Structure 1
Amino acid sequence: MTRSAESAPPSTWALATISFVTMLGMGAMGMSLPILPPQLHLGFGYDLTTVGWVIGLESVATLVSRPWSGRVADRRGGKSATLLGLGVMILCGLAYALSDFTNPATGAGRSLALLAIIVGRVLMGVGEGLLIAGSGLWGIDRAGPRRTGRAVSWVGLGMFAGLAIGSAAGAAIDHGQPHGFALAAMASMLVPALAMAICAPIGAGALYHDHEPVSLQSMMSAVLLPGFALLANACGFAAVTSFLALDYTAQGWTALPLGGTGTGVFGFGAGHVCARVLFSDVTDRIRGPWLAVACLLVQAIGLATIWQAETPLMALIGAIVTGFGFSMVYPLLTVPVFSTVPAQKRGTALGLFDGFFDAGAGLAALASGVVANYLALPQVFLVVSAMALAGVAPVLLVRHERWRPAAQDAS
């Protein structure tokens, strides 16, 4: 295989900037997380099942577009895919903003608002897929072959730091403001535009010109077991980002600083960021399944704590623990994926692998809506806690030799 002669050399500064760009893009996505479910349920009057379907639609769109996003990153480079994803996210913010200027008192107004939000969810799903595939591959290239784990961790750090900061910012902008949802949506258009400007001076990563076909069967065999574990890991994320804000509202936890619709999601993001800061290099130094198993167990404990929470402080602690356990599962599971795919197909492999996350997040959002509607909101967190425990099985089934670094990374 051949690489582009324009490939920039490894750079920690470039990796940090790519992580920051990812944070900005995901911050735009995070702005809607605490305010979109209440907008649909309380503002437009849709039931919780419908809320779950609409929220889950974003993950479905990301899932369907992942293979295409991976191919774009492989063929056009991670930087190009990142820029394209940020552009699509701007269009999502526009659709959200338009939804707030309909008349929810009429059936036609409610339908138009729902349609605009559905369009926005689909655009956000496609944009997220391009951003994550692009920034992930771009970060791996710019970090250098011996720092693949650091690259995945730093880009993931930017991703969830953005979700945490964005969710807090979105809740603050929306709180008590006339057309606050529209203001937050407009802010979510400006942030990706800023990220695109920051991308401009950063050199592109490697661009491979040898794209010999690799069978779908071999690619799926590389991602299947780690993917099932990632699917289970995604369920807690979906429940926290889709229904924790509604749980806070239902419990009457609205007084800041411990209450408020964005507090739980912020706590989840804070736990995630803390774990990534402390353990960003762990996948480059320690190999094996047991760290991933431990992380899934910690996440299950955090979700069970939210389920049993009787105070906003207890729920916040549960959210922080959940985010801490959730954090390192993804970079740990990329080790057996990257050890079995050629370097020029890493974008495609990431797209397929990330598809399991989208499937888990989408299915969990849909199922959580049904559970919340027919049982009770806290029961959602019991169900996803059990799913996190179920994720231990596929981790332990991955062959031991697949936890070693890939040949191109070891050289």
Structure 2
Amino acid sequence: MRSFSNLPPVSPAGARHPSPVRAMAPIAMALFFGFVSVGLPLPVVPLFVHQVLGYGDIVVGTTVGLQFLATVLTRGHAGSVADAQGGKLSMMRGALTCSGAGALYVIASILPFSPAVALSVLLVGRVLAGVGESQLVTGSVTWMIATGGSAYAGTAMSLTGMAMYASVALSAPLGMVLYEHLGFPSAMTVIVIAPLLACAVGARTPSAFTTPGVRVPMSRVLGTIWRSGLGLLLQGVGFAVISAFASLFFASRGWPHAALAMTLFGGAYALMRVCFGHLPDRMGGYLIAVISLGVECAGQAMLWLSPTETVALGGAFLSGMGCSLLFPALGVEILKHIPAHSRGTALGGFVAFQDIAYGITGPITGVLAARAGYASVFLVGALSALAGIGFVLFERSRSHSHNRLTPSLPERNPAHE
């Protein structure tokens, strides 16, 4: 009979793991391998669509954004699976789906298709990747929270982002190297393999489940989280414009280190999670969120105004620092008011706001880039972060004066006291 205990895993001898963080680490490692399927294509797919298939900026932005639209449309289902059947099952399914998306990327580039047919196969792969990503990420964070307990919810969300963007930081330049020296099919083959490694790690890691209960409908969850979700959406614009247009922006200026922009963004993101990921749990989320959005705004402005490649790379690094802590900062505040058995649904709905940003930003800013140049998209990122500060401050002012789904704080876990 499966256990719904929130306690850390227990060894056969009865001794508990030394710490919840160590218990969550293998799940973060699995997410790291699985998220290669998201990070590696970021600088490569725009170049393939533009340089090989011959399409313009609007199609490039749409191709990048389609994955994230598919992700947002399936977040609710991923959260339901994670709540009802456990985060492990959701994560494993997501990794296998991402591997299948990689196979479609390879097919789009090696078979003798016309550019239109190749693009169509690639777009189907992007949709499949979005479906896989929603299950991979939602399942991983739900699994980690169930493993570590509610007292470590912020830490679990920090580990989630750390794994994701460390993966981006390493896989994006790897993808560029493979693309430039071996071609698009070789780069995409890595996407087939890496999620299977995630499954191998996940299969050896114990399952964990939250306390059972009546699932809260997504409509009611959204009524609680939407203001914080808008702050997350506006933060996501910065990452979306970097992922969709950094490689083309650098190429248009004759700067050779486009992949380094994603590496610096992802490295800064992971570094902030390592050094300061505990702050939302200890200091509360709203102050950290406002500071984070301010830093992101400065980074996007540096990219917009950058006279040299060095300044642009500094803007990418600063953007990564600013984006890093917003999700755990606002997530900690949200989970204070969500029953334990509905946290997968809540986190799925919350992350969906970020997915919306990723999905719609590419096509919209693609039109802007075609008319005003690639630098203009980073001005949109800066203004969006600035607007996000307003939404966070508004939510902070309302948070103590409105009823939530539950008035109680996260449950205590005696194993952590």
Alpha-carbon distance, 1:13 to partner: 2.0
Q: Do structure 1's residue 80 and structure 2's residue 89 form an aligned pair?
A: yes
Aligned counterpart, 1:343: 340
CA distance in 2, matches of 1:120, 1:102: 15
Alpha-carbon distance, 1:217 to partner: 4.0
Query: Which string of whole-angstrom CA distances, capped at 9 and with x for unpartnered residues, describes residues 159-212 of structure 1?
Result: 1111111101111111132xx1100111111111111111112111115443x2
Aligned counterpart, 1:116: 121
Alpha-carbon distance, 1:410 to partner: 4.8
CA distance in 2, matches of 1:91, 1:79: 19
Identical aligned residues as a percent: 32
Shift in alpha-carbon separation, 1:368–1:405, aligned structure 2, 3 A: farther
CA distance in 2, matches of 1:234, 1:172: 26
CA distance in 1, matches of 2:410, 2:3: 14
Gaps of 5+ in 2: 10-18
* Equivalent residue in structure 1 for 2:153, among 138, 141, 148: 148
Aligned counterpart, 2:316: 319
Q: Counterpart of 2:283 in structure 1: which amino acid?
A: I
Alpha-carbon distance, 1:21 to partner: 1.1
Shift in alpha-carbon separation, 1:199–1:288, aligned structure 2, 3 A: closer
Aligned counterpart, 1:195: 198
* Equivalent residue in structure 1 for 2:303, among 303, 306, 316: 306
Aligned counterpart, 1:242: 244
Where does 1:6-405 land on structure 2 (aligned, <5 Å)? 8-9=8-9, 11-103=20-112, 109-177=114-182, 180-210=183-213, 212-254=214-256, 259=257, 261-398=258-395, 399-401=398-400
CA distance in 1, matches of 2:377, 2:387: 16
Q: Counterpart of 1:248 in structure 2: which amino acid?
A: F
Query: Which string of whole-angstrom CA distances, capped at 9 and with x for unpartnered residues, describes residues 207-241 of structure 1?
Result: 5443x242444311221111000000100010011
Aligned counterpart, 1:4: 4
CA contact (8 A) 1:15 1:151 kept: yes
CA contact (8 A) 1:90 1:193 kept: yes
Q: Counterpart of 2:248 in structure 1: which amino acid?
A: L
Alpha-carbon distance, 1:284 to partner: 1.3
CA contact (8 A) 1:70 1:347 kept: yes
CA contact (8 A) 2:297 2:382 kept: yes
Alpha-carbon distance, 1:51 to partner: 0.8
CA contact (8 A) 2:234 2:384 kept: yes
Q: Report the TM-score, using the length of structure 1 for normalisation.
A: 0.93
Query: Which string of whole-angstrom CA distances, capped at 9 and with x for unpartnered residues, describes residues 146-165 of structure 1?
Result: 11111110111001111111
Alpha-carbon distance, 1:285 to partner: 0.6
Alpha-carbon distance, 1:286 to partner: 0.5
Alpha-carbon distance, 1:407 to partner: 2.0
SS of the counterpart of 2:42? coil
Alpha-carbon distance, 1:3 to partner: 5.4
Alpha-carbon distance, 1:12 to partner: 2.3
Q: Report the TM-score, using the length of structure 2 for normalisation.
A: 0.91
Gaps of 5+ in 1: none
CA distance in 1, matches of 2:201, 2:228: 33
Deviates most, 400-409 or 126-135: 400-409
Q: How many residues of Structure 1 are paired with residues of Structure 2 in the alignment? A: 398
CA distance in 2, matches of 1:387, 1:27: 27
Across the aligned residues of Structure 1 and Structure 2, the Cα RMSD in angstroms comes to 2.0
Query: Which string of whole-angstrom CA distances, capped at 9 and with x for unpartnered residues, describes residues 238-297 of structure 1?
Result: 00111001101111112xxxx2x3111111111101111111111111015222111101
Q: Counterpart of 2:261 in structure 1: which amino acid?
A: G
Shift in alpha-carbon separation, 1:331–1:204, aligned structure 2, 3 A: same
Shift in alpha-carbon separation, 1:195–1:406, aligned structure 2, 3 A: farther
CA contact (8 A) 1:300 1:388 kept: yes
SS of the counterpart of 1:341? coil
Q: Counterpart of 1:93 in structure 2: which amino acid?
A: G
CA contact (8 A) 1:4 1:207 kept: yes
CA distance in 1, matches of 2:139, 2:7: 15
